[in-house]
Amino acid sequence: MPASQPRSRARDRNNVLNRAEFLSLNQPLKGNQESRSSSRKQSGQAGAAGAQNANPKERRQSQQLPEEDCMQLNPSFKGIAFNSLLAIDICMSKRLGVCASRASSWGGARSMINLLGITGHGIPWIAGTLICLVKSSTLAGQEVLMNLLLALLLDIMIVAGLQKLAKRKGPYDINPGLLDYLTMDTYAFPAGHASRVAMLSKFFLNHLVLAIPLRILLVLWALCVGFSRVMIGRHHITDVLSGFVFGYLQFRLVELIWMSSNTCQMLISIW
């Protein structure tokens, strides 16, 4: 026994696999594993720190790009319909702006179209109504004229307020005129001329006794004035159509708050 033990020790000493450089083949060293795991953790922490120190805009873009792509590739049906109608409106309005400048196809008729638009402006109508009110001597005439003056003032205030809220520009870069600044008609939506002529034509058809040819001419005048604003490039087609709608609603509002003859006489006496 004592002789066998030294022999086994010598055999183990001479075994190549028992050397330190080959011990990892049989049993990995714990120190090596810990050093490797610590190095991996340090490299992972360094990568995370590098990602944190990266540009925040790039991280935000990397997070938002997939969502933005989905939004662009899969828009809602309402968005598609609205954008399509808006594009058609802009395209058709630009095509119909034949008098937008002197170089346009109908540039020579621009002065006549502007003159037609002045017939639907608020300042001439308010001035004419005041002159007729001063010269009127009948109670019925004064009642109609006072309510007409109220309708004109309401039209200017309502259209100016809606235009300030919408702030929509016209199809062409055309500066408003002096009369437009006086009535605060500086934006495109809704068309102030269209709302005014729609309200006036409906007012006259209801409160004046007119022959059928005159009634037809009154409606044609309102339509021509409204669409003349598209021809000179100041408004889109939808601006004019919405102006007609708002003009009719303003007429209904004036009918609801119609001032009686006594009220009109009281206001005239104060004035």
By annotation, the residues acting in catalysis are 193, 235
Phi, psi values for residue 137, rounded to 5°: -120, 0
**Degrees to nearest 5, angle at CA 117 with 115 and 123:** 100
Q: Which two tokens stand for residue 9?
A: 């020790």
